[in-house]
Amino acid sequence: MNLIKYENMWIPKSDEELKVDIKQKEKTARYCGLLIFFLIPVFELVQNKFFGTQAYRGASFGLTLTWVQIFNMMPGMLFISCISGILFYLALRKYNINTTQLCPKCGKLKRFNKVENCECGGKFRLLNELKWIDNNEPEQ
């Protein structure tokens, strides 16, 4: 009789998998930075043309701008959106870190702190450095 042996566990990711994760994180940060870069001018254009410059101060509709006035404001809007997009990209790339740690031996989770050893005798590792594997191979 063949029994199915279930050995599900956390294992460390390979160097290639960690590199893929870093590339994906940078790609996401780049995408969000570009999104911010394009959304700020669009938001400002719609607000200034259709709702007016005083709409955020409680008035339902304020002084709307002409297309010439909006065109004259574009360099400033593009500068602000460029700086915002770069800052957003840098912040996501550097500070978007998962600080949850896991003991692969017992499965206990905790936030990052100076304690490296678990009560079970295992060592805590960052969760994004580990992967879960399902091993459903028949026992020989």
More confident site: 14 or 137 = 14
The predicted model scores a pTM of: 0.63
CA distance 129 to 5: 26
Neighbours of 101 (CB within 10 A): 22
> Any idea where the domains of the chain sit in the sequence?
14-95, 98-133
Written as one letter, the residue type at 30 is R
Per-residue pLDDT tens digits for 4-29: 444 667 888 889 998 998 898 889 99
Query: Residue 132: enclosing H or E segment and its boundaries?
Result: strand 130-133
DSSP classification of residue 58: T
Length of the chain: 140
- Judged against a pLDDT cut of 90, whether residue 137 lies above it is answered with no
What is the enclosing helix (H) or strand (E) of 85? helix 67-95
- Helix (H) / strand (E) element for 101: namely strand 100-102
Q: How confident is the model at residue 104 (pLDDT cuts 50, 70, 90)?
A: confident
